[in-house]
Amino acid sequence: MCRRSGFTLIELLVVIAVIAILMAILMPALKIAREQARGVNCLANQRSLTQAYIMYADDNDGSICGGWARHDDVGGVPPWVRPPGDISDSGSYSMVTGAVTLEQRYNGLRAGALYRYVSESGVYHCPGDNRKNMGTSLGNGLEYRIFRSYSLSDYMRGTDPTDPKKLFTFKDQANKMLFVEEIYDGSAGNFNHDGWSYVPYSGSMWDPLGIFHSDACTFSYMDGHAERKKWEDKRTVVFCRSRGEASAQGFGKNQVFNPPNPDLDWLDARYPGKMHTAAGN
């Protein structure tokens, strides 16, 4: 007598349906777990950069390094990172404009003042930041394949005569931001040549910030700790995703939010100064 082996069509359909249901249940949980892991990694990057910044100051009588990504030292102050460029066999560095390779972006990090303290290029990149592969809202060419996810604020420029020069002069360091996670879009070139630009108490935004972690951003502070900030106002997310889209909706670059945006109150309280820069410009 021949015995039947295998599944019937109905049994196979039932198995497939069960698998589909389990996948539907598990996929969101897996996505959340992956996002949490990225967030933990990003916070670790922030702490590493901050410790490097503090160590640089400790090694230089409290003096801070340049907070803008400049090609040359300014007034004898080296920048924390430099633009994408080439490094010769002799060790000299030269800036490169336009479309640049990922290796040239790495070279800009290597030529910065903090690289001797944190010499892993991956620390300068948030694992949730897809710009290095996808580009930005302005394009996907090599000039928009931004790698560096973190910046200092413009207030920490450290090179103008009016800028703060010593880290220990800042009070309430546990509540004063140092590195921010930003989404520079390539509008002024293939790298963010300044810091993260923001004018506190203006009711508006200038440069977009990170939304790599389920519409949240990571920040580090002068005392060495880092934290994640979930954006409360959906307009903040729109602005960070695309300044063009935000402008079309009436809250673009330097446009005052109406009604006021509570996320700006949070940023105002943690910005290291009362103005955009110590010079007030």
Contact between residue 268 and residue 211 where contact means Cβ atoms under 8 Å apart: no
Across residues 70-97, what is the average pLDDT? 93
pLDDT in tens, 30-58: 555 566 667 789 999 999 999 999 999 99
CA distance 260 to 231: 14
pLDDT in tens, 157-207: 999 999 999 999 999 999 999 999 999 989 888 999 899 999 999 999 999
Angle CA(119)–CA(44)–CA(237) in degrees, nearest 5?
115
How is residue 72 written in tokens? Answer: 């040359």
Grouping H, G, I as helix, E, B as strand and the rest as coil, residue 217 is strand
Q: In the chain, what are the domain boundaries?
A: 10-270
List the beta strands (DSSP E) in the chain. Answer: 85-87, 93-95, 150-152, 177-181, 216-221, 226-230
- pTM of the predicted model as reported, rounded to 2 decimal places: 0.86
Contact between residue 142 and residue 104 where contact means Cβ atoms under 8 Å apart: no
